[in-house]
Structure formats: C-alpha cells, structure tokens
C-alpha cells in the first residue's frame, strides 16, 4: 500500500489537474531541480516577536482567484451526516468535501488519492461527496450523477461511486440511452433491485432538483472539478496543507508557529540517540536560526521520538522527521529557506532541511552520505555531524520508501537531546 500511496501523493498533491466548464484550471508544476537561492535575512529582523515567522495550515497567502472560489464555497451548506454521502470516520477532524462529476477524468485520480488517505489515516479524515456535473463538457454528467443517487437509495452509493470511476473509460463515450442500458445491467450485477434502480435513475423530479442545485453552484463560480474544500477552506496550490492537518490531528502537531527557544548568538549540539548509535551534530544557529529553532523546538517536544529514517540512499542522503514514515506529513507549519550563505553540501555529514519547494520547510531533515552539491541553493544547511560520529552514518539502514513497509529494518531515532554549549 505504501508504494501506491507514494505514487498517489505525487499525483494528488503536486500534479492535480481539473475539468472545467469555463476558464481552464491551472495545473501545478513539478518542483524545479534548480531552486533560486535566497539572501539570508538579518538576524534582528528574523527574531522579531515571541514566535518564529512561519506559515500555518490556516494562515497563508491566497490569490484573488482563490478568494473568489472561497466566497462560493462559503455559500455551501454545512455537513449533514443524514443527507450527505460521507466516507470514513464521521467524527474525523479533517473533512474533505469533493464536489465532483463522475465523467471528469481528474476526479478519478482524486478519488483514488482520498481512498488511500482514508486507508492510511482512518481516524483523521472523512470524505464528503457532492455532485457538480459539468454538462457543457460532459454529456453524461447528469445521468451518471443520477446513477449514484439511485444506487444510494439502496444503500450502495459508494459502491456505485467506485464502480463509475473505475470503469469511466468504458462508458465515457456512450450516449445517454446507451449509458442507461449499460448501467441497468451493472446495477443488476451489483445485486440491486433493478426495477427500483431504473425508476430512481429516470425520476424527472429528482433530475430537475439535481440540475437546479448544480446551476446554483455553477452560478456561484464552482466551475471546475474536483472542487475541493478542506475544513472549510478551498484547496488550491496545496493549501490548506492537508499533510499539515494530518500532522496536527494524527501526530499532535501545531496550529501556531513555534516560540523562539534558541538564541542565535549561542551554539547548540543535537545528540541523536538512534538504534545505529549516537550521532552528534553541531547546529548553525547563527546562519539558519529558523531551521535550528524549529528543529530544537520539535526535538524538545518529542516530535522526533520513535521516528525512523524513512529514506536512506547510499552516497546520497539519510532522511527522517516524518512520524508517519511516508515522507509527507509536516508538523502543521512551514518556514522559509535560509540559503545564500555560502555553505555547501560538499561532503558527507551535512545537515539540511528537506522541502517540497521553496519555503516549505517543516520537520523533515536529511544528513548527506556523500557530496551532493546539486542540492546547493535549494535546501537550508543548518548543521554538521561531528567527526567522531561520522562512522555511525555508515550504520544507518538503507531504505527505499517506495518499497519499504513500516518500521521493519529501519534505523530509529529514540530521542534527540539538545545541548546548549
């Protein structure tokens, strides 16, 4: 499952496209291999306030376009467990509303994505499906939606939901009459009362209600699918950070920016107690106060206790910091890169912040296992392994996150002690 989830994470989080009845929805681009360097901010500017500057799951910049979509989403009724189609734990703290069209190709990928999230974080996430047919580009948008409702009347909405998406390429080119003939056969094969299913499928009053509800949503500006809302916020450009929310609710993460717990003029050493041995790392608080402060804060909070190195590639890096082991979950906040300081990943033992793009640093870090200068400028360097601890790096278990499962064979961080020198 984990191999499948890693593939879907890439599709769902970074490359989510959409079906649109009007203005095409922009697709996200892949993270560039060469990221722009940034000037290191003046220490006195960074240290303003009681908390370090960061972006939280609910506090981030939005575009005017996103604000328009948010205004539309705000007009939608709240979750109704009696009326809405809900999958997952009804009490889950993270609610994903998916306004979708069964004939939309992008909705297939998003459905697969949420299904795997539900499997992986069953207590944290619930998914709500609401119809948003796009008849201007999908001739079967309404009738396929009616098929979902007809199945739902017999307690089989999600079975039909999954079936329509899984077989979309088979029925996508049908006429409406051909679709009706085909779906009746499928309903019978699924064990439904076909006579009742057909009556509900072709119910004119129900069809009119669906069309009127849809017209209202389109008029508000919800003209692409999947139109996703996470905990009341329109999900665009990976915000609100879904894996930040998972970090908060599944792993006791943080809704606010961390307090300042270091003084940049002082020096600090991190002592990683691992199953492979003790790794001592000098931290560079003077040139990377954000990264060091976050790392020290999380270490003192116990965030890293019991976490394993989930990605260890020979002569490249050993990466850790995600308590789920998936390499996706964050502590609930993100902070800026601190590069442009002349430091380089030019040897083994350099400590860097992992990110998914500029200014998306969270809790994940890596230690180089060899020169990796192609990472220079894209990732914050905030420490270096002490010479006496270098042999331990060779003992960290190699691990491919795409094939490895659970903790088996992994090198585990039992805890991290921070020493103020």
Average pLDDT over residues 230-256: 96
Q: CA 215, CA 209: separation in Å to the nearest integer?
A: 10
Beta bridge partners of 125: 94
Are the C-beta atoms of residues 5 and 114 closer than 8 Å to each other? no
Q: How far apart are CA 46 and CA 44, in angstroms?
A: 6
CA distance linking residue 150 with residue 199, whole number of Å? 8
pLDDT in tens, 52-110: 999 999 999 999 999 999 999 999 999 999 999 999 999 999 999 999 999 999 999 99
The third-level CATH classification (topology) of the domain covering 2-30+61-240 is Glutaredoxin (3.40.30)
Predicted confidence (pLDDT) per residue in 358-395, tens digit? 999 999 999 999 999 999 999 999 999 999 999 999 99
pLDDT tens string 19-35? 876 433 322 222 223 33
Q: Considering Cα of 210, then 212, then 213, then 217, what sign does the dihedral take?
A: positive
DSSP-assigned states of every residue in 221-285: T--EESEEEETTEE-BTTBS-HHHHHHHHHH---SSPPBP---TTS-EEEEEEETTEEEEEEE-T
Q: Return the pLDDT at 164.
A: 98
% of the chain beyond a pLDDT of 90: 84
**Which residue has tokens 């965030």?**
303
CA–CA dist 169, 362 (Å, integer): 39
| pLDDT tier, 111 (very low <50, low <70, confident <90, very high otherwise) | very high
What is residue 406's predicted lDDT score, i.e. its pLDDT?
Answer: 72
Distances (CA, A) of 333 to 57, 228, 245, 249, 354: 6, 21, 9, 13, 14
> What does the pLDDT read at residue 331?
97
Q: Given a cut of 90, is residue 233 above it in pLDDT?
A: yes
Please give the CATH superfamily to which domain 268-420 belongs.
Cyclophilin-like (2.40.100.10)
CA distances for 412 relative to 60, 89, 257, angstroms: 33, 30, 27
Q: Would you call 44 exposed, middle or buried from its count of C-beta atoms within 10 A (0-12, 13-18, 19+)?
A: exposed
Number of CB atoms found within 10 A of residue 365's CB: 26
Q: Is the pLDDT of residue 300 over 70?
A: yes
pLDDT, tens digit (0-9, with 9 covering 90-100), for 123-163: 999 999 999 999 999 999 999 999 999 999 999 999 999 99
**What is the domain partition of the chain in residue ranges?**
2-30+61-240, 268-420
- pLDDT for 293: 98
Average pLDDT, the chain: 90
CA 169 to each of CA 6, 109, 112, 144, 293: distance values in angstroms, whole numbers, following the listed order: 24, 13, 15, 13, 51
Q: How confident is residue 44, by pLDDT bands cut at 50, 70 and 90?
A: low
Q: Put the strands of the sheet holding 227-230 in their side by side order.
A: 85-88, 125-131, 94-100, 227-230, 233-234
Q: What six digits make up the tokens of 209? A: 């209600």
DSSP 8-state assignment for residue 311: E
């Amino acid at each position: 499952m984990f191999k499948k989830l890693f593939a879907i994470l890439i599709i769902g989080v970074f490359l989510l496209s959409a079906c649109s009845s009007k203005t095409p929805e922009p697709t996200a681009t892949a993270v560039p291999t060469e990221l722009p360097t940034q000037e290191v901010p003046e220490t006195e500017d960074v240290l303003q306030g009681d908390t370090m500057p960061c972006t939280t799951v609910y506090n981030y910049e939005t575009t005017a376009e996103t604000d328009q979509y948010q205004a539309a989403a705000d007009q939608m009724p709240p979750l109704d467990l009696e009326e809405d189609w809900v999958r997952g734990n009804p009490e889950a703290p993270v609610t994903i509303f998916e306004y979708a069209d069964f004939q939309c190709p992008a909705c297939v990928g998003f459905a697969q994505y949420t299904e795997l999230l539900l499997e992986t974080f069953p207590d944290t996430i619930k998914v709500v499906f609401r119809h948003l047919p796009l008849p201007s580009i999908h001739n079967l948008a309404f009738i396929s939606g009616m098929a979902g409702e007809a199945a739902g009347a017999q307690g089989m909405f999600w079975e039909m939901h999954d079936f329509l998406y899984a077989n979309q390429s088979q029925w996508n080119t049908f006429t409406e009459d051909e679709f009706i003939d085909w779906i009746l056969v499928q309903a019978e094969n699924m064990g439904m009362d076909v006579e009742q299913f057909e009556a509900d499928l072709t119910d004119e009053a129900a069809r009119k209600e669906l069309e009127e509800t849809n017209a209202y949503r389109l008029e508000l500006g919800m003209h692409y699918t999947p139109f996703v809302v996470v905990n009341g916020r329109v999900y665009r450009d990976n915000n609100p950070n879904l894996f930040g929310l998972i970090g908060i609710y599944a792993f006791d993460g943080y809704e606010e920016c961390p307090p300042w717990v270091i003084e940049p003029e002082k020096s600090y050493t991190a002592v990683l107690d691992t199953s492979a041995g003790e790794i001592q790392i000098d931290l560079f608080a003077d040139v990377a106060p954000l990264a060091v402060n976050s790392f020290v804060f999380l270490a003192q909070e116990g965030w890293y206790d019991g976490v394993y190195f989930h990605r260890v590639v020979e002569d490249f890096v050993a990466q850790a910091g995600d308590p789920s082991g998936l390499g996706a979950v964050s502590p609930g906040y993100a902070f800026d890169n601190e590069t442009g300081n002349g430091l380089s990943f030019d040897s083994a033992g350099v400590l860097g912040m992992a990110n998914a793009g500029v200014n998306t640093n969270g809790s994940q870090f890596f230690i180089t296992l060899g020169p990796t200068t192609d990472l220079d400028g894209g990732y914050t360097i905030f420490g270096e392994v002490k010479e006496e601890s270098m042999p331990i790096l060779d003992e960290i278990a190699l691990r491919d996150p795409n094939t490895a499962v659970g903790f088996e064979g992994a090198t585990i961080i039992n805890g991290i002690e921070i020493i103020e020198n």
